[in-house]
Amino acid sequence: MAISKALFAEFLATGLYVFFGVGSAMHWPSARPSVLQIAITFNLATAMVVQVTWKASGAHVNPAVTLAYLVGSQISLPRAVAYVAAQLAGAIVGAALLYSVTPGDIRETLEVNVVQSRVSAGQAVAVELVLTLQLVLCVFASTDSRQTSASPAAMIGTSVALGHLIGVYYTGCSMNPARSFGPAVIVGKFEVHWIFWVGPLTGAVLASLIYNFILFPDTKTLAQRLAILTGTSETEKVEMVEPQKNKPQSNPGDAEMENVGQIA
């Protein structure tokens, strides 16, 4: 599948995710959103974009998820970098669109993620780490071809909602650096923004190590992992020797999976 289609899918999905998700958290004087409302909206937005772009790109929609796939040797480094760039661009466009259609007195902060006054920076990082860890574990379990062949949209959406039911009270809940980055760029507010990169990315790496090397280790050799990481043609050669029944979790939207080994 053409890389351009996959990148557009990531751009579109992340933009829609930010528009609907962040839009649900906007504080209108006549109707302030509840935590449950925000969680449900992020749930529905996630399920929608995953369902729409699952076959086109694998529906990462999150730099943390892309990093987790990279650590798990399921996507090449060049593709991962391109995915993250597309996600960040989509988040900026989604936030800009939301900003443009929202009245001035409502859009001032554009619901940029902030740490609550009684929560320390260390606590905020820890919360974002745990929230993202459970999300990425759910993503891996829902997309693992050894366990399921169905669309992961519903389960991933539920995991995102779960994170928001807790995380909103601490950090406004990010779990996704792109979700934090887009609004921050539009309103120019980057105070403690680093928390929403360090926490989610660390949680994603830990989740990938736990799932791919402890809970459900696969049979890829070091040579295979290096070939996948660099995106070389050797990937096709090494994957041919693996029995089909032992293939690790797949990512249907990744073009590299379309090759012989069906692994990104």
Residues 6+ apart with CB under 8 A from 188: none
Please tell me whether residue 58 adopts helix, strand or coil conformation: coil
What is the spatial distance between Cα 264 and Cα 252, in angstroms, rounded to a whole number? 8
Q: Which domains does the chain have, with CATH numbers?
A: 3-256 (1.20.1080.10)
- Summarised one tens digit per residue, pLDDT across range 143-158 is 998 876 677 999 999 9
With beta carbons less than 8 A apart as the criterion, state whether 160 and 135 touch. yes
- Summarised one tens digit per residue, pLDDT across range 36-59 is 999 999 999 999 999 999 999 999
Residue 231's pLDDT is what?
Answer: 84
What is the spatial distance between Cα 1 and Cα 57, in angstroms, rounded to a whole number? 9
Residue 1's pLDDT is what?
Answer: 54
Task: List C-alpha distances in Å: 93 to 44, 62, 231, 238, 244.
Answer: 20, 15, 29, 40, 41
What is the spatial distance between Cα 264 and Cα 253, in angstroms, rounded to a whole number? 9
The whole-number average pLDDT for the span 86-102 is: 98
